[in-house]
Structure 1
Amino acid sequence: MWSRAVRSLWTNPLGQMRMFHSNFAGKVAVVTASTDGIGLAAAQALGQRGAHVVVSSRSQANVDKAVALLQNQNIRVTGTTCNVGKGEDREKLVQLTLDQCGGIDILVSNAAVIPFFGKIIDSTEEIWDEILSINVTSSFLMTKLVVPHMEKRGGGNIVFVSSIAGYQPMQGLGPYCVSKSALLGLTKVLAPELAPSNIRVNGVAPGMIKTEMSSPFWKNEEVMSEFKKRLSIKRTGKAEEIGSVISFLCSEEASYITGETIEASGGFNYGF
């Protein structure tokens, strides 16, 4: 019987797709900082597989633009302004989601800032407060807000967007690197605590992705020339390539994965 089942998978590829390509119909996904770049790509990837996505950013104009784009792609979407560094904004985002969508199944914590470039010893307390507040603390506090609602739904998925900078310090980006390292730890700590509630916690660590946030680096030919020497795939990544990884981590195809951070870096060589 086992051999017949195996033969049927190999000889019926469409049947194999039906078995393993799960979707997010009926699921609600909150994605922070999601009106462009990786956040928007994550919303698109989840929405294209059936999730109702809730997008946000600090700018109402950016929210309106993203909502219109997603609606044109036949994605169910709700949008609102949110500065994840403010408690009242985080609570508003969650309450709006509950009011309009009825629950929360997925959180993609993507918000991040890079307000400083230089020697880490020259960074100020104000810079550290801003970076850690947005890049780390908001991820934890958003998790605290959504977990009770995921538990009511029987489980859920949380994905933190870290960076290869969390593994490999990058010159001039010291505080940012530390914040991304903290997300690696947060993923590891939360995963076993939330597993009994059927909530999986994972992360993705992108490399050099062609987004507006990273444009000072990929637009610099000298920087990119040196950076590409460390890559197996000799190009910058695309936001949608990270969105696909996030979508996978939230899917049933990744049902036995928790506490992990997947590197999507084009084969970045740390030992170069």
Structure 2
Amino acid sequence: MYKILLTLFFVGLLNAEVYDGIAIVVKDEAITLLDIKNEMKTSKVDAKQASDLLIRQKLEKIEIDERRISVSSTEVYDDIKQMAARNNMSISTLYDAIRDSNGLNSTELKEKIKQKLLSQKLYSAIAYSSVEEPSQREIKEYFEMNKEKYSHPSEFSVIIYESKDGARLQEKVSNPMIYAPDISMNEQVLAYDRVSPELAKLLQNTPLNSFTQVVPNGQGSFMSFYLKEIKSAGEGSIEGSKNEIINAIMAEKREQVLGDHFARLRHNTEINIIREVE
């Protein structure tokens, strides 16, 4: 009798420990306290926002499973090849760069890309057939309300610092006064229309007289740009920005459809909040 009671006690204790780690249950999918804390750290959001993001992810997973949406290893590899090509890198260099910047190994990267592609297929199934192309009036109204988005610099005056050692370059960026003959410097004027969208965005988001973050150069080395001057190109035109505006409007419409869909799904799905994260 005592042996049975003792066994039941330990089983109950084990279940309590498991239960204590769960914060939210979405249908049969559990979200733990650790999941929420990790999401807070990764996405830099508070506990409620992290919980909402994780609930949305679980709802997406349920939808993906129910719709039997899948992604093949070939699709994942093709996405990685495209990512490497956009950044002028080999695939092995891309893996190294992502590991250095985000701490993800190739297996973890492939899993993240798989989840991204699954979500894209789900979004396509839900939203794309429900969204109409914007009218000329919508395009004009959007442009008038967002003119600042479609004006951009004409060129950037920079000093490019480059090294084969990313850590050494970071040391120079953090302390520009150190003597570093192993780091090359090259002053250039970069035309906005001649650089990649990723580099243009990086430079636009960098304050004058400061360095960008250290980034791979696609050839096995690393570089950072010291931004000296930005020359303005003036206001953009509606015709020159038309495709970009259409894409932005379509993205907003799709997000509205998706938001409404998942709001209804959340309302109709059994979600149990077991405890809040402090």
Q: Which TM-score band applies after superposition, normalised by the shorter structure? A: under 0.3
Q: Which has the larger radius of gyration?
A: 2
TM-score with structure 2 setting the length: 0.23
Q: Which of the pair has the greater relative contact order for Cα pairs under 8 Å at 6+ separation?
A: 2
TM-score with structure 1 setting the length: 0.23
More helix by share: 2
